[in-house]
């Protein structure tokens, strides 16, 4: 591993915290209201990753803001009930922080909801910066949010790894010039994510510790 890496950026949903059931449920609730019986679980899985604006604009350009409002209301009401932790995440983040790495989050969520997820999973004290949808003009895969996080952390792209569960994360990292790591627990599948050629594929978040040689004497 190149020792110059000092910064790790993480996607949030589906990477650090298991919000998959919450997101799928929120989409099914929202789309069920506008298009009864037209969408099932498999049909909404491709919507995990892109921003809500992107997804709903492709489905119903006339009602984007209204659909987002319906989605977010349901999502917030059911957040704490459906969000779970991924194995190995808390321990890995804690060790990275203790080892002196700069760590940040780059998410397509709005800041308020992102903070809610971090607090629930007790990860909130560890992160130096959170770049949410509120902070950018163009979300991932555009490099803007990743470059913004790096700027705030005082890091260069070549010193960083972008970790995520979706093509947007891998392509965003590549567009920004960082190294990239996919997670094998991606809802879209390891094979799908491998197709975007991340530099690393993590079977468990603790794999990052080995890649970065954390804990080695």
Active-site annotation, residues = 11
Long-range Cβ contacts of 150-154 (<8 Å, 24+ apart): 150/7, 150/9, 150/176, 150/178, 152/104, 152/128, 153/7, 153/102, 153/104, 153/128, 153/129, 154/102
Phi, psi values for residue 6, rounded to 5°: -130, 0
Lookup result for tokens 């003009």? 137
d(CA 87, CA 205): 8
- Backbone conformation region of residue 18, classed left if phi is above 0, alpha if psi is from -120 to 50, else beta: beta
CB 44, CB 197: distance < 8 Å: no
Residue 130 CA to residue 142 CA, distance in Å, equals 16
């Amino acid at each position: 591993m190149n020792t110059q890496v000092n910064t790790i950026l993480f996607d949030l949903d589906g990477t650090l915290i298991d919000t998959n059931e919450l997101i799928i449920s929120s989409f099914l609730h929202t789309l069920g209201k506008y298009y009864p019986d037209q969408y099932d679980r498999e049909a909404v899985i491709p919507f995990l990753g892109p921003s809500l604006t992107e997804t709903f604009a492709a489905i119903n350009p006339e009602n984007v803001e209204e659909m987002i409002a319906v989605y977010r209301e349901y999502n917030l009401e059911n957040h704490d009930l459906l969000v779970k932790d991924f194995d190995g995440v808390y321990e890995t983040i804690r060790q990275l922080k203790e080892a002196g790495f700069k760590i940040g989050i780059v998410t397509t969520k709005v800041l308020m909801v992102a903070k809610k997820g971090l607090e629930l999973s007790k990860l909130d004290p560890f992160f130096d910066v959170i770049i949410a949808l509120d902070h950018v003009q163009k979300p991932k895969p555009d490099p803007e949010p990743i470059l913004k996080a790096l700027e705030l952390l005082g890091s260069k792209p070549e010193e960083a790894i972008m970790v995520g569960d979706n093509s947007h994360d891998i392509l965003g990292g590549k567009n920004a010039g960082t190294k990239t790591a996919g997670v094998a627990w991606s809802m879209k599948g390891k094979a799908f994510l491998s197709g975007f050629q991340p530099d690393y594929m993590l079977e468990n978040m603790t794999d990052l510790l080995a890649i970065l040689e954390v804990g080695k004497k």
